[in-house]
Structure 1
Amino acid sequence: MKRRAFLKTTAIGTGMIAMGSRSDIFSMPGLTPANQTIGNKLPLWRGFNILDFFTVDRYISDKEKFLATEQDFKWMADWGFDFVRIPIAYPCYLNYDPAIGRNIYPEETVDFREEAIEAIEKVVYAANKYNLHVSLNLHRAPGFCINAHFHEPFNLWLDNEAQQAFYQHWDMWAKRFKNISPKLLSFDLVNEPCFKEDMNDQFSPSTPIPGEIYRKIAKGCLEVIHKYNADRLVIADGNHGGNLVIPELMDLPIGQSCRGYFPHYVSHYRASWVWKNPDDAPRPVWPGVINGEKFNRQVLEEFYQPWIDLVNQGVGVHCGECGCYKETPHDIFLAWFGDQLDILTSHNIGWGLWNFRGSFGLLDSERKDVDYEDWYGHKLDRKLLNILQQH
Structure 2
Amino acid sequence: MNLSDSRRDFMKKAALATAGASLLPYSSFSEVKRKNKLPAWKGFNLLDFFSHNPDQGRPTKPAYIQWIADWGFDFVRVPISYPSYLNIDRSRPIRPDEVLNFDESRLEKVDALVERAIQHGLHVSLNLHRAPGFCINAGFEEPYNLWKDQEALEAFCAHWEMWAKRYRGISSKRLSFDLVNEPFQRENPNDQHSPGGPVDVVDYHRVAKAALETIKSVKKSRLVIADGNGGGGIAVPELADLDLSQSCRGYHPFPISHYKASWVYKDPESVPPVDWPLQQGENSLDIDNIRNYYAPWKALIDQGVGVHCGECGCYNQTPHEVFLGWFGDVLQVLKEMEVGFGIWEFSGAFGVLNSGRKDVVYEDWYGEKLDRKFLELLKAQI
State the TM-score, normalized to the length of structure 1.
0.88
Q: Return the offset for 1:109.
A: 1.4
Q: Distance in 2 between matches of 1:382 and 1:207?
A: 37
Q: Which residue does 2:9 correspond to in 1? A: none
Q: Which residue does 2:27 correspond to in 1? A: 34
Equivalent residues of 1:33, 1:43 under 8 A apart: no
Q: Which residue does 2:79 correspond to in 1? A: 87
Q: Does residue 52 in structure 1 map to residue 55 in structure 2?
A: no
Q: Distance in 2 between matches of 1:277 and 1:97?
A: 34
Q: Does residue 157 in structure 1 map to residue 147 in structure 2?
A: yes
Q: Return the offset for 1:290.
A: 4.0
Equivalent residues of 2:43, 2:68 under 8 A apart: yes
Q: Which residue does 2:277 correspond to in 1? A: 287
Q: Does residue 370 in structure 1 map to residue 360 in structure 2?
A: yes
Q: Return the offset for 1:294.
A: 2.5
Q: Deviations over 1:3-61 (max 9, x none)?
A: xxxxxxxxxxxxxxxxxxxxxxxxxx99x93375611000010000011000111x25x
Q: Distance in 1 between matches of 2:278 and 2:239?
A: 36
The sequence identity of aligned pairs, in percent, is 53
1:172 alignment partner, one of 152, 162, 166 = 162
Equivalent residues of 1:326, 1:366 under 8 A apart: yes
Q: Deviations over 1:261-304 (max 9, x none)?
A: 01110000111111111112221110131466531111111001
Q: Which residue does 2:19 correspond to in 1? A: none
Q: Deviations over 1:115-164 (max 9, x none)?
A: 11110111001100001000000001111111113211111111111111
Q: Distance in 2 between matches of 1:55 and 1:258?
A: 22
Question: CA 1:244–1:74 in structure 2 vs 1: closer, same or farther (change >3 Å)?
Answer: same
Counterpart AA for 1:118: E
Q: Does residue 352 in structure 1 map to residue 345 in structure 2?
A: no
Equivalent residues of 1:284, 1:290 under 8 A apart: no
Q: Deviations over 1:279-331 (max 9, x none)?
A: 12221110131466531111111001111111111100000000000000000
Equivalent residues of 1:144, 1:199 under 8 A apart: no
Structure 1 residue runs of 5 or longer lacking an equivalent are 1-28
Q: Does residue 197 in structure 1 map to residue 187 in structure 2?
A: yes
Q: Which residue does 1:214 correspond to in 2? A: 204
Q: Return the offset for 1:211.
A: 1.4
SS in 1 for 2:128: strand
Counterpart AA for 2:84: C
Q: Distance in 1 between matches of 2:231 and 2:71?
A: 30
Q: Which residue does 1:68 correspond to in 2? A: 60
| Alignment of structure 1 residues 241-252 onto 2, 5 Å | 241-252=231-242
Q: Which residue does 2:228 correspond to in 1? A: 238
Counterpart AA for 2:170: I
SS in 1 for 2:99: helix
Q: Does residue 103 in structure 1 map to residue 93 in structure 2?
A: yes
Q: Does residue 43 in structure 1 map to residue 39 in structure 2?
A: yes
Equivalent residues of 1:282, 1:290 under 8 A apart: no
Q: Distance in 2 between matches of 1:341 and 1:66?
A: 27
1:276 alignment partner, one of 266, 272, 296 = 266
Question: CA 1:110–1:292 in structure 2 vs 1: closer, same or farther (change >3 Å)?
Answer: farther
Structure 2 residue runs of 5 or longer lacking an equivalent are 1-21
Q: Distance in 2 between matches of 1:150 and 1:169?
A: 18
Q: Return the offset for 1:375.
A: 0.6
Equivalent residues of 1:265, 1:282 under 8 A apart: no
Q: Distance in 1 between matches of 2:370 and 2:242?
A: 41
SS in 2 for 1:379: strand
Q: Return the offset for 1:252.
A: 1.2
Question: CA 1:112–1:292 in structure 2 vs 1: closer, same or farther (change >3 Å)?
Answer: farther
Counterpart AA for 2:42: R
Q: Distance in 2 between matches of 1:298 and 1:190?
A: 30
Q: Return the offset for 1:340.
A: 0.2
Counterpart AA for 2:27: A
Q: Which residue does 2:15 correspond to in 1? A: none
